Amino acid sequence: MSVVQLRRPPYKLIWFSEIDANPQKHWLVENFLGLGELSCVYGMPGSGKSVLAGDLACHVAAGLPWFGRQVHRGAVLYVAAERAGLVQRRFAAWRLHHRQSELPLAVLPMVVNLRDPSGAKLLIDAAADVHNFFGLDVRLIVIDTISRVLAGGDENSPKDMGALVNNLALVHDRTHAHMQGLHHIPIDGQQRMRGHGALLGACDTTVSVEKHDTIRSATIDKQNDGDEGERVTFALEGVELYYDPETKQATTAPVVVPSDAPPPAQRPRPGPKSRADRIMRDAINEALDTTGQDISVRGSPLVCAATVRHVREQFTKRYVVEDDDPKKVADAKRKAFNRALERLHADFSAGESNSDQWIWRT
Please report whether residue 258 resides in a domain: no
pLDDT digits (tens, 9 = 90+) for 53-98: 999 999 999 999 999 999 999 999 999 998 899 999 999 999 999 9
- Strand blocks (E) in the chain: 27-29, 33-34, 38-42, 75-80, 105-108, 138-144, 178-183, 205-212, 215-223, 231-244, 249-258, 293-295, 303-307, 348-353, 356-361
Q: What is the mean pLDDT of the chain?
A: 86
Residue 269, exposed/middle/buried by CB under 10 A (0-12, 13-18, 19+)?
exposed
Q: How far apart are CA 281 and CA 212, in angstroms?
A: 19
The pLDDT confidence band at residue 345, using thresholds 50, 70 and 90, is low
Of 40-49, 177-186, 203-212, 353-362, the range with the lowest mean pLDDT is 353-362
pLDDT for 127 beyond 90: yes
- Residues facing residue 258 across a β-bridge: 234
Contact 205, 223 (CB under 8 A): yes
- Strand blocks (E) in 98-246: 105-108, 138-144, 178-183, 205-212, 215-223, 231-244
pLDDT digits (tens, 9 = 90+) for 319-338: 888 777 888 888 888 888 88
The pLDDT confidence band at residue 5, using thresholds 50, 70 and 90, is low
Give the residue among 200, 237, 216 at the shortest CA–CA distance from 49.
216
Pairing of strands 105-108, 75-80: parallel
- Statement to judge: residues 55 and 197 lie in one domain: yes
Q: How far apart are CA 359 and CA 348, in angstroms?
A: 7
pLDDT for 1 beyond 60: no
pLDDT score, position 356? 66
Of 95-104, 151-160, 271-280, the range with the lowest mean pLDDT is 271-280
Question: b/e for 220-243, b at 16 or more Cβ within 10 A?
Answer: bbbbeebeeebebbbbbebbeeee
Please report whether residue 2 resides in a domain: no
- Residues facing residue 38 across a β-bridge: 179
Q: How far apart are CA 21 and CA 24, in angstroms?
A: 10
Please report whether residue 131 resides in a domain: yes
Q: Verify cis geometry, omega within 30 degrees of 0, for the bond prior to 233.
A: no
Q: What is the rounded average pLDDT of the residues 231-236? A: 92
- Statement to judge: residues 228 and 284 lie in one domain: no
- Statement to judge: residues 221 and 340 lie in one domain: no
- Statement to judge: residues 204 and 159 lie in one domain: yes
- Statement to judge: residues 280 and 235 lie in one domain: no
User: Of 241, 260, 287, at which residue does a domain stop?
Assistant: 241
Give the residue among 275, 352, 350 at the shortest CA–CA distance from 315.
275
- Statement to judge: residues 50 and 134 lie in one domain: yes
Q: How far is CA 121 from CA 49, 66, 112, 148, 298, in A?
A: 27, 31, 10, 17, 46
Total number of domains constituting the chain: 2
User: Of 241, 261, 283, at which residue does a domain stop?
Assistant: 241
The pLDDT confidence band at residue 128, using thresholds 50, 70 and 90, is very high
- Statement to judge: residues 227 and 84 lie in one domain: yes
- Statement to judge: residues 137 and 285 lie in one domain: no
pLDDT score, position 294? 78
Q: How far apart are CA 215 and CA 277, in angstroms?
A: 27
Q: What is the rounded average pLDDT of the residues 202-230? A: 87
Domain coverage including residue 58: 36-241
Looking at mean pLDDT, say which of 1-15, 102-116, 276-290, 326-340 comes out highest: 102-116
Question: Can you say whether the dihedral through the CA atoms of 153, 154, 160, 165 is positive or negative?
Answer: positive
Please report whether residue 130 resides in a domain: yes
Give the residue, 219 or 156, on which the prediction is more confident: 219
Please report whether residue 250 resides in a domain: no
Give the residue, 362 or 242, on which the prediction is more confident: 242
Residue 314, exposed/middle/buried by CB under 10 A (0-12, 13-18, 19+)?
buried
- Statement to judge: residues 191 and 294 lie in one domain: no
Please report whether residue 127 resides in a domain: yes
- Statement to judge: residues 138 and 218 lie in one domain: yes
CATH number at residue 163: 3.40.50.300
Q: What is the rounded average pLDDT of the residues 177-202? A: 86
Amino acid of residue 315: F
Please report whether residue 291 resides in a domain: yes
Please report whether residue 1 resides in a domain: no
- Statement to judge: residues 233 and 281 lie in one domain: no
pLDDT digits (tens, 9 = 90+) for 263-309: 655 444 445 457 788 788 888 888 887 888 877 765 556 677 888 88
- Statement to judge: residues 172 and 223 lie in one domain: yes
